Structure formats: C-alpha cells, structure tokens
Amino acid sequence: MAQLAWLVPLFPLASYAVLAFRGRALGERAPYVAIGAMALSALLGWGAFLEQVAGAPPYVWRAVWAVGGERTLTVGYTVDPLSSITVAMITLVGGLIFVYSVGYMRGDPYYARFFAFLSLFCAGMLTMVLANSFLLMLIGWEIIGLCSYLLIGFYFRRRSANMAQMKAFLTTRVGDTLMLVGIMALFWQFGTVDYHAIFEAVREGGESASAVVRLGGWEVPLATLSALLVFGGPVGKSGQFPLHVWLPDAMEGPTPVSALIHAATMVAAGVYLVGRAYPLFFYTPHHEALAVVAWVGTLTALLAALMALAQDDIKRVLAYSTISQLGFMMAGLGVLGYAAGLFHLLTHAFFKALLFLAAGSVIHAVGTNNIKEMGGLRRFLPVTFWTFLAGFLALAGVFPFAGFWSKDEILLEAYHHAPAVYALLSATAFLTALYMSRLVAYTFFGTYRGPAHPEPDPWTPEDYARAGLHAPHHGHGTPHESPRVMTGPLVALAVGSLVVGFVGIPGTGPEGGSWIHHFLKFEGFKEAGIHAPSFSWPLALRSLGVALAGIAVAWLVYGLRAVPSERIRAWVGPVYPFLRNRMYIDALYGWVFVRGGLLLAAGLRWFDVHVVDGLVNLVGGVTVVTSRLHRLFDTYVVDGLVNLVGWVTRGLGLLLRPLQTGRAYNYILVAAAGLGLIVLVSLWRL
C-alpha cells in the first residue's frame, strides 16, 4: 500500500480536472466524481495507515525535480505513522464533508465548481502531508492556500466574501514568505530541502547545524533562526497570533468549506508541519524554538477564547474556538508534548468538522448566523442538536469524549514542562467550556426568536438563469431538520468525536501508556532522556472540573439567567467592545498595512511619473533645446561661415567682373599685353 501512496493525492486531483472541464455537463452528478475519488484515496490511505499500525517500516520515495549546478532538489513522499494517520483522518473527515455538501449545496448554480475546488483542496492537503521535502510541502501548502482563496470567496458576488478571500490569502502569504525565507536559510545551511537529510543533519549537530549568524550585534544560532522562520508558515496557516485575523473572516465561504478549512485541511497543515519538522525545532539550543512555539500557541489559545466570548455569529464563535484549539496544539507541541499536540489535531478534526456541519444544518434551517436570533432549536432539529451536543462536549473536554483525552494530554505535558503554560491553558479550557455553553444555550435552548434579517441569497437571478436553475424561495416558517445526506455525516462524526479519543486512554499501548503515544513517538526524546509524563488522575479530574465549571457558569448566566449577561456586560465596561471588535487588531492591520500599502503605492506611482520619468523627459527636453541651440549655431555660425566663404567669393567675383567684358579684342589686348610683359621680364633676366 505504501508504494501506492502517491496515488492518494492524485485521485482528488483527477477529480478536480474532470470537474473543471466537464463539470457543467455532469451537473447534479458532479459530487459522485468527487466522492468516488475521495473514497479511493481513503481506501489507499487507510490501507497504508493500517500497515503502519501493524508495524511496517516507514517508506520513502524521491525523484529529482530540479537541478542547480551539481546539486539537486528532490520531491517525493513519505509514508510513516505521522503522515499515514493524518492521511487517514483527512480522507475520512474530508469524505464526510463531501457527502454533507451534496445536500448543503444542492441547487447552487455553481455546484460542480464547488466540488472541483473541494477536490483540489484535498489534493493539495494530501500532497502537503505526504511530501518528504520542504519543496513539495510548499507546493501542496500553496495549493491549499489557493483553494481556500477560491472557496472562501465562492459566493463571489458578495463584496464581503471578496474581501475575506483576499485577507485569507494575503495574511497566510505573509507567513508563507517567512517560511520561504526559512527554507532558503535551510538550503543555504544544508544544501538540500529534503526533510530526512535536514533532520539527520540537525540531529547529528555537525558544523553546518551549529552555524551562527549575526543580526545587528546579536549572535543567533542559524538553526533557531531557520526554525522560527519556517514557523512563520504555520503561524499564518494555522491562524496563530498575530496572523490569526483571516480565520474568522473565512466564514464567508459556504459552511462545508468552513468545516474543511477548520478541521481536516488548511489549519491542520500548520500544526502538522510543526510536527513533521519537529527535529528542526527540537534540536535548537535549549529547545528555544519550541519555547517560542509554546508561547505563541498559549497566547493564541487564551486571546482567541476571550474573543469567542463576545461574538454573536455562530460560525464566528466556532472560528475563534478553532484558533484557540490550534493554540492548544501548538502549545502542546511546544512543551515537548509531541504526541499530545498531534493527537489533539486528530480529535479536533472530528469534533470541529462536526460542529461546523451541525452549525451549517442550523443555518440551513433558520437562515441566519446570529445566535441571538435562534433559540429553542433542539425541538426543531433533534439530530442536529444531539450531534452538536456531542461535538460541544468533546470541545469542552468532558469525559469520555475525544477532546477530554487529547486536551488532558496537553495539559499534562504542560504541567510537567512549563507550569506557566499550564496555568494559562487551564484558564483557556474554562473559557472554552464557557463560550461553547453560551453558544449552545442561545442556539438550542430558550424560545425560538427567528431572524430579523434573513441572509440574502448569495447569487443573482442571472446566475441561476445561466445554470438553468430556478432561484429558490427563501420562505422560512418554522425551522426544519436537514435531509439525511446531511445528518448522516453528522452522526458519523459524532460517533468519531466519542471514539477517536479512546486511542489516548492509558493502558491501550505498551507499558501502561496510550496507543497514540506509542504510535506517534519522537525518537529525539529518548536520546535526550526526556520521558513522557504518565497519566495522572488528579490532573485529569482537575481539568474535567474546570470544564464543568465553565459549563455551570454559562448555565447560570445564559440558561437560568441568574445573573443576566447584560449586567455582566455593564460591569466589565470597555472590555466587552474590546473583545467584540477583535481587540482592534484587524482594524490596526487595515490601517497600517492595507491603507498604508495603498498610500505608499500611490505615492510611488506619483514619484514614478513625475520624478523618474520626469528626469527622462527632462533629458529628452534638454536634448531638444540643445539641438535648437545647435540649430541657431548651425544657422548663424556654421552655416554663416559657409555663407561667408560664399560671400567672399562672390565679392571677389564682383570685383573681378569688370574684367570679364566678353569682347574678344579686350582679351586679345590683355593677352598681348601679358605676352609683352613676359617677354620683357625674360629679357630683363638675361
């Protein structure tokens, strides 16, 4: 199976090609192509994964992609525990999202295009995961970026979607550029972009691995610098502070896209890359690059959880929770919890996909994103409610759901390796339970309030006409449950949100550890004498208590309204608008980078036209003026001289003219006189 793993990304790629060229003709049948391709990928991916589970050795294949002098750049793929389990997750969760989309997107005028982009998205993600060099990883990585751009702006008639897609691409590209510089630095250092060669070199810590660069008087280990630059990519892609701003806006895409971006692909890419390139971070002096990862993650987790508290858009709350959970994963990886961070990536994929899809089902039913306009939906949407509840419990970290096991692992590692991180993450866990309970209370409990302004249709009548469809009527009476093709994936993901965590139960692996710890292990720990802390009941109970406390507080405020939220809002004063406006970070970027950039561009344009080109025209003008002067000189001096010669000649001619009488006897007289003169002179000489 591992030898065939190269086909895994190619199936969705082929599906993309088919849908891009034949999508219109396929019409309603377009999803079969996409889902069929995904099923084949899943089959191969799971085959390779189960082989790894059974203990097959990692498989690596590479080929030369480009040459530079005598050096080569290779591309290829690796099948090992990390890549295979991630592929298994992507194909499963991604496939379920595809199925759900069949129902959610039905009747859309660009139905085939949607599935084409989804397929390409998964192809990019699978390429990125299976890649065995920074080069191929980057290719997959940017294809993901492209697809997120295309899908976030799928409703391309909407100005807000246009802005969101640009914001997503550009913000992540800032990170990508840093990563590219990091890759350049790695190539400089090691002469290759191959993962295995680089990781082997940093592990051995030879000369090139311990190089130092001077940055304005500071001596920075090159290894740390490269690792941190590479980390720029994940910061952008996985929505870490300060490049997190694009992720909440990515909600402009259709809901299945949000699920895909927030769970199985895109944001997972960043965390995966940190896991994949773990040696790069680990083998820096004092693991200092990992410390940065840990703190960026912790800060992100906390800030995003705070912002989530003040949002009213159901998808936006979930988006901030994604940022926060990604922070958890980064923090886990940063505090030496290699398996813990990646485990949370896997469990989170299930319950976050579930939450988004269930939210989509809610939006589908009520026609608004605003949770304040919902309420009491548990009666109208029973399947959606119960599955959402499963996702909620998993996210909040309630026993025995998946999030409990993976989040607990992270907290456990933090407790042992970085107590400050532990404290902050525990606070975040409390906030997580709080804002999620708030969301559940507003959406599913109380009485149904109904939307004041239902979302307008994203398409214009001409879009429908062009596709040969009729614009749907958006008459929303009472909300109704979604069709089976949508609830089916919800149920499957709900089951996943429960059972996926079981691989993290202590005792499922050898020596009393968990299976996931055994499967995803980082060899460097053993060499460095770092032992994973073993499961501890007091800590687990403490984190469970934190989660339950969050739920309880939310229940008091939003459920029983013992302390109405309005009073809390008044009590905290400016904190609420501060959080609600995303701490004004987006506004700041808008002023500094967008407006600043445009102003600079306009200024340089002026400079170009008036100064640079002005100089050129000045030279041209001066040349013209000089040539005019030349012409005067030419006319009066050069030509004047010529004329002078003419005049002199003419004057002499005039002087001599009287001699030219034209009468023969005059000439004969003169000739005779001359002859006489000659004779006289000759005689004289004698």
Partner 1 sequence: MPILTLTLFLPLVGALVLLFLPKEDAERIRKVTFGFSLATFLASLGILSRFEFGRPGMQLVEQAAWIPAVGIQYKVGVDGLSLVLAILTTLLTALSVLYSFRENHRVKEYNLLFLLLATGMLGVFFALDFFLFYVFWELTLVPMYFLIGIWGGPRREYAAIKFFLYTLVGSLAMLLGILLLYFHLPPGQRTFDVLEIIRQRPLAGTGLLAQLAFWGFFLSFAIKVPMWPFHTWLPDAHVEAPTAGSVILAAILLKLGTYGFVRFSLPLFPEVFQQHAPLVATLAVIGVIYGALVAMAQTDLKKLVAYSSVNHMGYVMLAVAAAAWAHGRPELQQAAATALNGATMEMLAHGIITGALFLVVGVIYDDRTHTRGVDDFGGLWAVLPKYGAVSITAMFASLGLPGLMGFVAEFLIFVGSFSIFPVFTALAALGIVITAAFFLWTIQRIFLGPTNPRWAELPDLDRREMWTLVPLVVLMIIFGVYPKPLLDVINLASLDVVAMLR
Q: What is the sign of the dihedral through the CA atoms of 65, 67, 72 and 73?
A: negative
What does DSSP assign to residue 386?
H
Angle at alpha carbon of residue 401, lines to 400 and 403, rounded to 5°: 120
291, 258 in Cβ contact below 8 A? Answer: no
Q: Which tokens hold the place of 488?
A: 């089916």
The residue within the footprint of partner 1, chosen from 38, 82, 90, 143 (CB under 8 A), is 143
Alpha carbon of 558 to those of 432, 438, 581: distances in Å?
A: 15, 6, 21
Which CB, 600 or 669, lies closer to partner 1?
A: 600
By rule CB under 8 A, what string of x and - marks binding of each residue 39-68 to partner 1? -------------------------xxxxx
The residue within the footprint of partner 1, chosen from 7, 106, 177, 508 (CB under 8 A), is 177
Which of 401, 128, 405, 396 has the alpha carbon at shortest distance from 271?
128
By rule CB under 8 A, what string of x and - marks binding of each residue 338-377 to partner 1? ----------------------------------------
The residue within the footprint of partner 1, chosen from 29, 466, 531, 567 (CB under 8 A), is 466
Stretch that binds partner 1, among 162-170, 473-481, 498-506, 511-519 (CB under 8 A): 162-170
The residue within the footprint of partner 1, chosen from 69, 216, 217, 662 (CB under 8 A), is 69
Angle at alpha carbon of residue 331, lines to 393 and 225, rounded to 5°: 155
The residue within the footprint of partner 1, chosen from 28, 204, 455, 462 (CB under 8 A), is 462
The residue within the footprint of partner 1, chosen from 131, 193, 259, 418 (CB under 8 A), is 193
- In angstroms, what is the minimal distance from the CB of 624 to partner 1? 11
Amino acid making up residue 268: A
Site residue total, partner 1 (CB under 8 A): 58
Which CB, 188 or 636, lies closer to partner 1?
A: 188
The residue within the footprint of partner 1, chosen from 141, 281, 385, 422 (CB under 8 A), is 141
- In angstroms, what is the minimal distance from the CB of 207 to partner 1? 13
According to CB under 8 A, which residues from 591 to 620 bind partner 1?
Answer: 597-598, 600-602, 604-605, 608, 612-613, 615-616, 620
Which CB, 179 or 355, lies closer to partner 1?
A: 179
266, 125 in Cβ contact below 8 A? Answer: yes
Which of 96-119 are b and which e, b meaning 16 or more Cβ less than 10 Å from the residue's Cβ? bbbbbbbbbbeebbbbbbbbbbbb
Amino acid making up residue 360: G
Asked if 22 touches partner 1 (CB under 8 A), the answer is: no
What does DSSP assign to residue 294?
H
Which CB, 52 or 189, lies closer to partner 1?
A: 189
Asked if 589 touches partner 1 (CB under 8 A), the answer is: no
C-alpha to C-alpha distance for 603 and 238, rounded to whole angstroms = 34
Asked if 505 touches partner 1 (CB under 8 A), the answer is: no
Which of 187, 280, 234 has the alpha carbon at shortest distance from 522?
280
Which CB, 147 or 402, lies closer to partner 1?
A: 147
Q: Which residue has the tokens 């690596």?
A: 60
- In angstroms, what is the minimal distance from the CB of 596 to partner 1? 11
- In angstroms, what is the minimal distance from the CB of 188 to partner 1? 4
301, 325 in Cβ contact below 8 A? Answer: yes
354, 390 in Cβ contact below 8 A? Answer: yes
Asked if 631 touches partner 1 (CB under 8 A), the answer is: no
Which of 201-240 are b and which e, b meaning 16 or more Cβ less than 10 Å from the residue's Cβ? bbeeeeebbeeeeeeeeeeebbbbbbbbbbbbbbbbbbbb
- In angstroms, what is the minimal distance from the CB of 557 to partner 1? 41
347, 405 in Cβ contact below 8 A? Answer: yes
DSSP codes joined into one string, 176-230 = HHHHHHHHHHHHHHHS--BHHHHHHHHHHT-TGGG-EEEETTEEEEHHHHHHHHH
Asked if 157 touches partner 1 (CB under 8 A), the answer is: yes
By rule CB under 8 A, what string of x and - marks binding of each residue 109-138 to partner 1? --------------------------x--x
- Conformational region of residue 460, where left means phi above 0, alpha means psi within -120 to 50, and beta covers everything else: beta
Asked if 159 touches partner 1 (CB under 8 A), the answer is: yes
Residues that bind partner 1 (CB under 8 A): 20, 64-71, 73, 135, 138-143, 146, 149, 153, 156-157, 159, 162, 165-166, 169-170, 173-174, 176-177, 180-181, 183-185, 187-188, 191, 193, 460, 462-463, 466, 597-598, 600-602, 604-605, 608, 612-613, 615-616, 620
